[in-house]
Structure 1
């Protein structure tokens, strides 16, 4: 991370403390938090089954992530929780997430987003106590092995997702990292086989997690956000300060993935290929204002002199044959999404120009949700 970006994040953190005063009043300081530790900053907390972390008894390991380790714990004579023990080099992001979640809790939105109960320090680690939720949308699609899920479930999840993120946008907050891994079913049930031999949730109500990258509208929006496959073009091109419309693009990618059973934009580390796929899938060209204000490495791929309205130069001289073939063989949205109402909704949500892209609230009024 550059020193400039570090200063920006520190300023954001300071501003949040002043405006919302959440995390500082919610974190309990542990006497051991300043104690010495042999662990490096990027190491996971080394737990023992049955040990107590404050009043929480460790039952089992749930999973490890980039941010830290999640354990199933049980409070004395009480129910179970998910305890996130954050790696020391991810504390700032975790504290930002706590800021947002406590703010949402005061606004009565805990029924839409994962509920955070408390934060504290334990042996030098920052700990967050969450409600326990069910499996993720990603797990559901993985179990179904690249088969799309039923349209009724797509409609239900999409409607909830647009409603909840729309509520977030009303508070001038952008999630910035929407993807199937961050959408969890609210009840802790196992996924079971249903009709057509597909795994289905017993309860289709969802909650949204991972707001560590969420930003408020008063913060600068000029950095790269999102996982690439769900990243809006204005973010990738750094051609303007992105806003809540970048979340709409991410939701559209998730909805398409539920229908298709695979990623809409199947690209990994190649940003040049990604932008070519964006044009091919959406059947649109980048508008002049975006082409003329690109920053970063992609700037060389755009020209201000269009050919038939096209400003993006593809392929480049060093583009591989494999990448050229992938883009050439990519089907557009009109051939991928056969349901006409869903296709029309996605076309409106996948407008390359964010000024023309519909909002979450506008999407909720689409005919696709009138069935």
Structure 2
């Protein structure tokens, strides 16, 4: 109960840090300061790495700002931290450019996962002929028992931009451009039989950090506030650490809660359509400024889905695993009887049908956008639009 209330009030969601679509070869394994300096090109030999330190108790790499990561990279700051490790803002002395370096924890399971991720990223880069909107990996190396992956440096995530604007929605024309690029990247991955499994605004980054400020007049006062909009709509998809091959054995739970498809909650198995559901949730959030399903509990999550989209199909209920059967009674959702709190019931009443949620923000684009969203947010996975089909939808045609 406390988790639901806290999550609803603070919108505490797992923040994702970098991951990318790469190509490249591992650099030489540089294990100590002496080897590092000896192997560096003459122009870099004066830039030696710091003395060895123990990792922190969780296996994270310990560093100080301004020091080196090998002789090649100068550490300028920390961009983010996650379960896997950290992402650092660095200066590449070879190429004379800023880069983002993901430093994986020195724990076996995370190192193994990082190597699998590198394989996925190299596969994405190998067949990327037209530009897939996936972030680029420059290279990777093993340094002091930490897998380090070097990426191009990008701008803030779409979630960060929403937060900066106090969760004011993006204009529909921008949502259209973001959605088109996101679906192009998802279609590319699905063509390669890859499933991202963790699509969300935190994992969609603007290519540029540049933005403009526009004045916004409040209707309730004479005050004028500014609203930020990106100068460029170009985005790239990141964080391929959870990407799965269609042919491999799938774990039972994937996706961040707010973007998790119903078939995952019901234990029916999942494949490419789970990404499509996530895209639908993302587009609603970009249009409205708020996550569509702000919940941390399965029954409430399913009840929210029914409130917005209609009842869960009976054939899906009949096939639900034993773990999910408890959410239903006599082939209907056990709601509100099974609600964990009165706050949960009150939160449900604030939701509305999808078309009504979108119509408050989308204006003239409402009809085509709602139609697209219903195609992406079908309960039955086999009935959802594919990414390629969605790209042909009228919403993505040039507006009249």
TM-score (norm 2): 0.79
Q: Give SS of 2:381's match.
A: coil
CA distance in 1: counterparts of 2:127 and 2:388, whole angstroms? 19
CA distance in 1: counterparts of 2:64 and 2:167, whole angstroms? 37
Q: Which residue of structure 2 aligns with residue 199 of structure 1?
A: 228
CA distance in 2: counterparts of 1:24 and 1:337, whole angstroms? 43
* Residue 248 of structure 1: how far off its partner (Å): 0.6
Tell me which of 210, 232, 242 is aligned to 2:239. Answer: 210
Q: Which residue of structure 2 aligns with residue 243 of structure 1?
A: 271
- 1:43-54 pair list within 5 angstroms: 43-54=59-70
Tell me which of 265, 269, 283 is aligned to 2:293. Answer: 265
Moved over 6 A (4+): 22-25
- 1:65-80 pair list within 5 angstroms: 65-77=82-94, 78-80=96-98
Tell me which of 86, 101, 105 is aligned to 2:104. Answer: 86
Q: Tell me if the contact between 1:230 and 1:253 (Cα under 8 Å) persists in the aligned partners.
A: yes
Deviates more, 1:73-82 or 1:211-220: 73-82
CA distance in 1: counterparts of 2:27 and 2:92, whole angstroms? 18
* Residue 166 of structure 1: how far off its partner (Å): 0.7
Cα gap change, 1:27 to 1:289, in 2 (>3 Å): farther
Q: Which residue of structure 2 aligns with residue 156 of structure 1?
A: 177
Q: Which has the higher contact order (CA 8 A, sep 6+)?
A: 2
Q: Give SS of 1:50's match.
A: coil
Tell me which of 176, 190, 199 is aligned to 1:178. Answer: 199
> Which string of whole-angstrom CA distances, capped at 9 and with x for unpartnered residues, describes residues 339-367 of structure 1?
11111111111111111111111111111
Q: Which residue of structure 2 aligns with residue 362 of structure 1?
A: 389
Counterpart check, 1:328 vs 2:349: yes
Tell me which of 144, 148, 157 is aligned to 1:123. Answer: 144
CA distance in 1: counterparts of 2:320 and 2:62, whole angstroms? 45
Counterpart check, 1:146 vs 2:167: yes
CA distance in 2: counterparts of 1:223 and 1:203, whole angstroms? 38
> Which string of whole-angstrom CA distances, capped at 9 and with x for unpartnered residues, describes residues 114-155 of structure 1?
111111111221111111011110111111112111111011
* Residue 203 of structure 1: how far off its partner (Å): 1.2
> Which string of whole-angstrom CA distances, capped at 9 and with x for unpartnered residues, describes residues 214-254 of structure 1?
00111123421111000000011112x21111001101111
* Residue 201 of structure 1: how far off its partner (Å): 1.0
CA distance in 2: counterparts of 1:292 and 1:37, whole angstroms? 56
Tell me which of 314, 319, 323 is aligned to 1:293. Answer: 319
* Residue 173 of structure 1: how far off its partner (Å): 0.5
Q: Which runs of 5+ in 2 are unaligned?
A: 1-21, 34-50, 217-225, 360-365
Q: Which residue of structure 1 aligns with residue 219 of structure 2?
A: none
Q: Give SS of 1:275's match.
A: helix
Q: Give SS of 1:99's match.
A: helix
Provide the aligned C-alpha RMSD in A: 2.4
Counterpart check, 1:278 vs 2:278: no
Counterpart check, 1:228 vs 2:246: no
Cα gap change, 1:24 to 1:160, in 2 (>3 Å): closer
Q: Which runs of 5+ in 1 are unaligned?
A: 1-21
TM-score (norm 1): 0.85
Q: Tell me if the contact between 1:32 and 1:124 (Cα under 8 Å) persists in the aligned partners.
A: no
CA distance in 2: counterparts of 1:86 and 1:199, whole angstroms? 33
Q: Tell me if the contact between 2:74 and 2:91 (Cα under 8 Å) persists in the aligned partners.
A: yes
* Residue 317 of structure 1: how far off its partner (Å): 4.3
Count of residue pairs the alignment pairs up: 340
